[in-house]
A and B are shown apart, each in its own frame.
Chain A
């Protein structure tokens, strides 16, 4: 019996709670950097609401500050966010039955963290309500992002230097990566993905990340041919992804 919407939503909130802290510094910077570049508070909020994608927002802010052509800003943002095509494709099978209005909302809220936490949970606890767990994860992220943008724009982004809050973000992905490696094929996908992304880390527009992810998927497929697919995901009564 699948869980109630409320339970699934709360489970999503519990899953995302530990990593909220990690996005605070980024949200603050999204606001503060915008103002520092000469944008207004409304511009900063506009970026966070309309674009809602941290890395691309920062790139856009930098370009606005440099007086770059608007078309360049748009293209830059889109290229940086291109990786979300993979998230979309990966999570779409889970949301196929969603009515279009809900899917529109779910699409709007798609971020690295919402994707990673949800995909992990759906595999490990297949009875989970797709919509409500996902929204439980994604909605708090959106709210915190907006609040931090405003706060950062108004008071600046002063985080104590000895407190590297931003490290919580890669730690979250690490915590989700470990169970995602179920055997040799996924292990190779991770190795190649992580390796190539590291090699390409200096490339602009998050190209290294995108190239690494694509290469990792290809490597996984090749490995599957050679060593066979990994065992299917864990049984449903394993610990849910991200339990507090």
Chain B
């Protein structure tokens, strides 16, 4: 059992925070130095939202516990329904509400079945 962390953790916290800030700030300041966005990079950036959002969403729906499951996966089902709502309504609020209600309902149904 290791001893409780002492005040030296702040060395790590500050270093990690500084590094993370630099990561966040990177292109926000780099592009200025470069005189704007290079055209090739600009074309690639057009695909960042779709790629990143999918990379964030799909694992959370398909493999919420770390391993991909399709059958009996409440989150996948609720997510599919929410996707439909997102497509039709284009409303973030509606998507969240429907998805949450669906997940809770599926969870409750699972308890009683």
Does chain B have a CB within 8 A of A196? yes
Q: Which of A90, A123, A238, A242 has the most CB of B within 10 A?
A: A90
A173 touches B57 (CB 8 A): yes
Q: In the complex, which residues of chain B have a beta carbon less than 8 angstroms from the beta carbon of A95?
A: 28
Q: Are A107 and B99 in contact (CB under 8 A)?
A: no
> Given A93-B42, A167-B100, A193-B50, are A87 and B16 neighbors across the interface (CB < 8 Å)?
no
Given contacts A87-B24, A198-B68, contact A92 B49 (CB under 8 A): no
In the complex, how many residues of chain A place their beta carbon closer than 8 angstroms to a beta carbon of chain B?
107
Q: Please state if A174 and B12 are interface contacts (CB–CB under 8 Å).
A: no
SS class, residues of chain B in contact with chain A:
helix
Q: What mask results when residues 9 to 35 of chain B are scored 1 for a CB within 8 Å of chain A, else 0?
A: 111111111011101111111111000
B72 interfacial by beta-carbon distance below 8 Å: no
Contact A88 B51 (CB under 8 A): no
Contact B31–A92 (Cβ < 8 Å): yes
Q: Which label, helix, strand, loop or mixed, suits the secondary structure of the A interface?
A: helix
- Pick from B3, B14, B47: contact of A189, CB below 8 A: B47
Indicate whether A6 reaches chain B with its CB closer than 8 angstroms: no
Please judge, given known A-B contacts A104-B25, A174-B99, whether A96 and B53 are in contact too, CB under 8 Å.
Answer: no
Complex partner residue of A193 from B14, B23, B52, B93, CB under 8 angstroms: B52
Summed over the interface, the residue pairs from A and B with CB atoms below 8 Å come to a total of 305
Distance A112 CA – B97 CA, assembled complex (angstroms): 20
Is A87 a contact of B37 with CB atoms below 8 Å? no
> Given the complex, which residues of B lie within 8 Å of A154, measured CB to CB?
none
A197 touches B104 (CB 8 A): no
B94 closest partner in A (C-beta): A175
Contacts of A162 in B (CB 8 A): 104, 107-108
Q: How far is the CA of A202 from the CA of B25 in the complex (A)?
A: 28
Kindly report which residue of chain A lies nearest to residue B37, judged by CB atoms: A93
Decide if B86 touches A174 in the complex (CB within 8 Å). Answer: yes
A180-218 toward B: CB 8 Å interface, digit per residue (1/0)?
Answer: 110001110111111111100110000011001111110
Of B15, B31, B42, B48, most buried by chain A (CB within 10 Å of CB) is B48
Give chain A residues whose Cβ lies under 8 Å from the Cβ of B54.
177, 189-191, 193-194, 197, 212, 216
Contact (Cβ within 8 A) A171 B50: no
In chain B between 54 and 105, which residues have their CB closer than 8 angstroms to a CB of chain A?
A: 54-63, 66-68, 75, 78-79, 82-83, 86-87, 90-93, 95-97, 99-100, 103-104
Bound form: Cα–Cα A201–B47 in Å: 21
Q: Give 6 closest A-B pairs by Cβ, nearest first.
A: A216-B51, A67-B2, A194-B58, A220-B47, A38-B4, A50-B17
For the complex with contacts A90-B52, A178-B90, 12 further pairs of A-B residues with Cβ separation under 8 Å are A50-B17, A51-B17, A77-B20, A81-B20, A84-B24, A88-B27, A93-B31, A162-B107, A177-B86, A179-B90, A217-B47, A220-B51
Q: Can you list 26 residue pairs at the A/B interface with Cβ under 8 Å? A: A39-B9, A43-B5, A50-B16, A51-B17, A52-B20, A53-B20, A73-B9, A74-B12, A78-B16, A88-B27, A93-B31, A116-B56, A169-B60, A170-B56, A170-B57, A172-B96, A174-B61, A174-B82, A177-B53, A193-B54, A202-B66, A209-B56, A213-B52, A216-B55, A217-B44, A241-B92
